[in-house]
C-alpha cells in the first residue's frame, strides 16, 4: 500500500518541467521583503484621486464600475472548478483601467471603494490583503472588506510583521534589533486570528504567516526556529467553526526552512505550506516534493516576483512594469506547472487559494487570465 501511495504522489502534479537554477542566498539578511509589502500595501490610504490621476478636475471618490466583461472571460470562469479561487495581491491600481475598472480612478478611491468592482470580474474569486503586515487590522476593518464581496469570495491575509519577522527593521529593510515578539502565540491570536475571524468570517480563505528572512545567526540554529514555530501553531484556534474550508498557512523566504522537519511541524499542527513563488526560494519545480509530502490537502500559493529580477528585485520590477497594465515578462513555464498543481488539487476535492502579484509577470489580472486558460485548456 505504501508503494502505491508513493506512486500516486509522483504522478500527482503531472510531468515536471526542467528546473531553473536555484537563486543565490547572498545578502539575504539585508532584505526584509519590504518591496513586496510596499506594492501590496497600496490598499492603505493614499493621496486623493486628483493627485493620483494627474492635473484636471477632481474626480468623485465613489461610483467605481467594473470594466465590462466579454463572453470569453465569463466562459473561462464557468469552466473552472468552483474549488479554485484565483485573485491578485491587493487591488488599488489605477493602471488596471480598461482591465478591471471602467474609467480612471486614484489609488485612495480604489482602496476604499474598488473592491466591490474588483469582485465583479468573474475570475476574481479571491484577493490578498497584505496591508496588515505593517499594522494590525481591526475586526471592523476586516468586516468592511467582507461587506464588499459576494459570499463565495475568499481572502488570503498576511499576518503582521511584528509576529512574523525576527527583526525590528529600519525603513530600508535592514534589521536594527531582535524582535522579542517573533512567533509570539498570544500576539498571533490577539492581533491576527481573532480580528480576522470576527471581521471576515466565512470569507476567510487562508491566513498566512509569511516568515521574513532570518538573520544568519538564527539560520544556523534552525531547530530552535522550528520549535518556536511549532509552539505558536499549536496554540492557534481552529478556523473550522467560522470558515469550514479556511486554512492557516506558513510562507517562508529562506530555503533553509524547506526540510522534512518543517513538513513535520506543519502536518502535526494541521497547517498548510504556502507555496511561495519568489526568487529567494527554489523554483516551483523544486518545491513540488514538499507539496507531495504535504498531500492531501488544500493549496495555498502566492506568486510574488518573477525570477528574472533576482531575490532583491522589487524596485526593478516596479520601475519596469509601471502601472501594471501589460504582461511584460510572461513566465509560461511557472504558469504551466502551477496550473497542474491547481488542477490536481481541485480534482481531488480540495480548495485552492492562489493570488498573483503584479510583479510576477507585469499585470496581475492578465496573469490570472493566462493562468485560468492554462488550467482549463493546458497546452
What does the pLDDT read at residue 336? Answer: 98
What does the pLDDT read at residue 46? Answer: 34
CB 163 within 8 A of CB 182: yes
What does the pLDDT read at residue 27? Answer: 36
Using alpha carbons, select from 137, 80, 18 the residue that is nearest to residue 376.
80
Integer-rounded Cα Rg, in Å, for the chain is 20
Q: What global pTM score does this model have?
A: 0.87
What does the pLDDT read at residue 13? Answer: 64
Q: From the first residue on, what is the mean pLDDT of each consecutive set of 10 residues in the chain (379 residues)?
A: 40 49 36 39 36 39 85 96 97 97 95 96 96 92 97 98 92 80 97 98 98 96 98 98 97 98 98 98 98 97 97 95 98 98 98 98 98 94
Domain ranges of the chain: 27-376
What does the pLDDT read at residue 32? Answer: 40
CB 320 within 8 A of CB 297: no
What does the pLDDT read at residue 170? Answer: 75
What does the pLDDT read at residue 62? Answer: 52
Class of domain 27-376: alpha beta
Amino acid at each position: 500500500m505504501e508503494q502505491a501511495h508513493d506512486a500516486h504522489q509522483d504522478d500527482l502534479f503531472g510531468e515536471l518541467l526542467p528546473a531553473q537554477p536555484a537563486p543565490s542566498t547572498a545578502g539575504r539578511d539585508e532584505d526584509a521583503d519590504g518591496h513586496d509589502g510596499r506594492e501590496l500595501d497600496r490598499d492603505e490610504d493614499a493621496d486623493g484621486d486628483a493627485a493620483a490621476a494627474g492635473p484636471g478636475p477632481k474626480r468623485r471618490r465613489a461610483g467605481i464600475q467594473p470594466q465590462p466583461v466579454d463572453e470569453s472571460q465569463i466562459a473561462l470562469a464557468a469552466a473552472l472548478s468552483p474549488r479554485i479561487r484565483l485573485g491578485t495581491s491587493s487591488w488599488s491600481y489605477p493602471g488596471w483601467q480598461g482591465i478591471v475598472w471602467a474609467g480612471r480612478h486614484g489609488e485612495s478611491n480604489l482602496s476604499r471603494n474598488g473592491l466591490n468592482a474588483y469582485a465583479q470580474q468573474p475570475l476574481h474569486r479571491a484577493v490578498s490583503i497584505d496591508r496588515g503586515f505593517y499594522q494590525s487590522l481591526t475586526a471592523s476593518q476586516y468586516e468592511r472588506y467582507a461587506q464588499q464581496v459576494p459570499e463565495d469570495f475568499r481572502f488570503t491575509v498576511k499576518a503582521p510583521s511584528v509576529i512574523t519577522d525576527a527583526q525590528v527593521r529600519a525603513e530600508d529593510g535592514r534589521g536594527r534589533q531582535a524582535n522579542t515578539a517573533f512567533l509570539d502565540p498570544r500576539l498571533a491570536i490577539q492581533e491576527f486570528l481573532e480580528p480576522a475571524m470576527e471581521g471576515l468570517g466565512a470569507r476567510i480563505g487562508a491566513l498566512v504567516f509569511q516568515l521574513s528572512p532570518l538573520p544568519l545567526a538564527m539560520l544556523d540554529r534552525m531547530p530552535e526556529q522550528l520549535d518556536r514555530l511549532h509552539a505558536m501553531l499549536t496554540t492557534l484556534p481552529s478556523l473550522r467553526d467560522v470558515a469550514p474550508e479556511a486554512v492557516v498557512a506558513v510562507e517562508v523566504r529562506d530555503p533553509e526552512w524547506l526540510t522534512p522537519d518543517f513538513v513535520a511541524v506543519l502536518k502535526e499542527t494541521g497547517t498548510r505550506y504556502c507555496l511561495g513563488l519568489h526568487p529567494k526560494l527554489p523554483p516551483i519545480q523544486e518545491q513540488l516534493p514538499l507539496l507531495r509530502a504535504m498531500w492531501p490537502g488544500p493549496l495555498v500559493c502566492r506568486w510574488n516576483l518573477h525570477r528574472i529580477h533576482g531575490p532583491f528585485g522589487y524596485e526593478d520590477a516596479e520601475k519596469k512594469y509601471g502601472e501594471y497594465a501589460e504582461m511584460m515578462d510572461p513566465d509560461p513555464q511557472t504558469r504551466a506547472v502551477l496550473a497542474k498543481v491547481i488542477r490536481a488539487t481541485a480534482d481531488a476535492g480540495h480548495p485552492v487559494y492562489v493570488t498573483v502579484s503584479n510583479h510576477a509577470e507585469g499585470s496581475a489580472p492578465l496573469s490570472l487570465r493566462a493562468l485560468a486558460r492554462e488550467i482549463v485548456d493546458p497546452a
